[in-house]
Amino acid sequence: MKNKTMSGLFDLTGRVALVTGSSRGIGNALAKGLADAGATVVLNGISTERLEKAHQAMAADYPVGRVHSRAFDVTDAGSAAEGVAWIEQNVGPLDILVNNAGIQHRVPMLELDVKDWDRVITTDLTSAFLVGREAARHMIPRGHGKIINICSVQTDLARPTIAPYVAAKGGLRNLTRAMTAEWAASGLQINGIAPGYIHTEMTQNLVDDADFNSWILGRTPANRWGTTADLAGPTVWLASQASNFVNGQTIFVDGGMTVVV
Ligand code: NAP
């Protein structure tokens, strides 16, 4: 196959992509990766101020009309429906959804309040069902669509003090499979990306913790923290035609952490 044809497989020109939780961190980097591959992107978050800043910053780097934003809470079914409907009406038919919005809460399980358990499960797992279902309702009649669920190494591995996160991210892998079971025959591909430890705002306190930092470096065969840029290529691949027969998989982008003890 000629190079030109091969790069065309990854071209997202004309595709509309929503990345939830993209006002900062990993989601923001994934939105830029998709835009660099040609997609028109919609940024999302809860804080309208942070989202507007992210929108302005990104819009300056791309042609007019390629960057949009819509604030909505991914944990609320009505807001998710309204958010997706707004995109369909104002930006275009949604081709790509990245369920990225997520939170962490570190407390030993014996001290964990049920409200905090619910908050993490709802934000990190139920949201993917709510926004995914809404996106699929539009994608299925069109016969195509890509949904990418952002998982974690905690999809496979547990650590003390983060029980709801571990439960949610493990559940997200199986939700990816459940979406595949129901929607793949309608032309949708649903896959997960499981990032290793990535240096972002969410993990800054861990990077600053000398003991934790040296544990991460020792535990990761690649001997470094991941960067948000490490996740862009796999996301573009799963959003593009190049992955049209990849379905229900969770791809670990973790420097090898989950294959060693
Ligand atoms: P982050 O920097 O804390 O950013 C979280 C984003 O999610 C923000 O844009 C935030 O919006 C948004 N958000 C949170 N709750 C929301 C809600 N209910 N509705 C809409 N948006 C909401 O997080 P991150 O480190 O980039 O992590 C992003 C994803 O990657 C998460 O799913 C996380 O579990 C996963 N992950 C991260 C790492 C890592 O090392 N960082 C590793 C593996 C997996 P506001 O700005 O409005 O709050």
Listed range (94-98, 118-122, 199-203, 222-226) with the worst mean pLDDT: 199-203
Average pLDDT over residues 153-177: 98
pLDDT bracket for residue 202 (50, 70, 90) = confident
State whether the beta carbon of 84 lies less than 6 angstroms from ligand 1.
Answer: no
Element (H, E) at 29: helix 25-36
Residue 200 forms part of a structural domain = yes
pLDDT higher than 60, residue 121: yes
* 165 a catalytic residue: yes
10 Å CB burial of residue 205 (0-12, 13-18, 19+) is: exposed
Question: For atom 33 of ligand 1, which residue has the closest CA?
Answer: 102
Cα-Cα-Cα-Cα dihedral sign, residues 62, 64, 65, 67: positive
Residue 1 forms part of a structural domain = no
Question: For atom 31 of ligand 1, which residue has the closest CA?
Answer: 102
Number of domains in the chain: 1
Atom of ligand 1 nearest to the CA of 154: 43
Residue 260 forms part of a structural domain = no
Residue 178 forms part of a structural domain = yes
Which pLDDT belongs to residue 57? 98
State whether the beta carbon of 45 lies less than 6 angstroms from ligand 1.
Answer: yes
Residue 259 forms part of a structural domain = no
State whether the beta carbon of 217 lies less than 6 angstroms from ligand 1.
Answer: no
Contact 146, 97 (CB under 8 A): yes
Which pLDDT belongs to residue 105? 96
Average pLDDT over residues 25-36: 97
Which pLDDT belongs to residue 243? 98
Q: What is the pLDDT of residues 73-89, one digit of tens each?
A: 999 999 999 999 999 99
Atom of ligand 1 nearest to the CA of 71: 20
Which pLDDT belongs to residue 1? 45
pLDDT higher than 90, residue 2: no
Domain of residue 123, residue span = 6-254
Residue 134 forms part of a structural domain = yes
pLDDT higher than 70, residue 4: no
CATH of the domain at 191: 3.40.50.720
Helix intervals (H) in 48-76: 48-59
Residue 205 forms part of a structural domain = yes
- The residue annotated as part of the active site, out of 72, 129, 165, 237, is 165
Atom of ligand 1 nearest to the CA of 73: 19
Q: Ligand 1 centroid vs 2 CA: distance in angstroms?
A: 38
Q: What is the pLDDT of residues 203-258, one digit of tens each?
A: 899 999 999 999 999 999 999 999 999 999 999 999 999 999 999 999 999 999 99
Average pLDDT over residues 110-116: 98
Listed range (2-16, 60-74, 95-109) with the worst mean pLDDT: 2-16
Question: For atom 9 of ligand 1, which residue has the closest CA?
Answer: 21
Q: Ligand 1 centroid vs 245 CA: distance in angstroms?
A: 28
DSSP 148-209: EEE--GGGT---TT-HHHHHHHHHHHHHHHHHHHHHGGGTEEEEEEEE-SB-SGGGHHHHT-
Can you give the pTM of this predicted structure? 0.97
Residue 172 forms part of a structural domain = yes
Contacts made by residues 172-179, CB under 8 angstroms, sequence distance 24+: 172/99, 172/124, 172/125, 172/128, 173/149, 173/250, 175/125, 175/128, 175/129, 175/132, 175/149, 176/149, 176/151, 176/248, 176/249, 176/250, 177/248, 179/132, 179/136, 179/147, 179/248
Question: For atom 25 of ligand 1, which residue has the closest CA?
Answer: 202
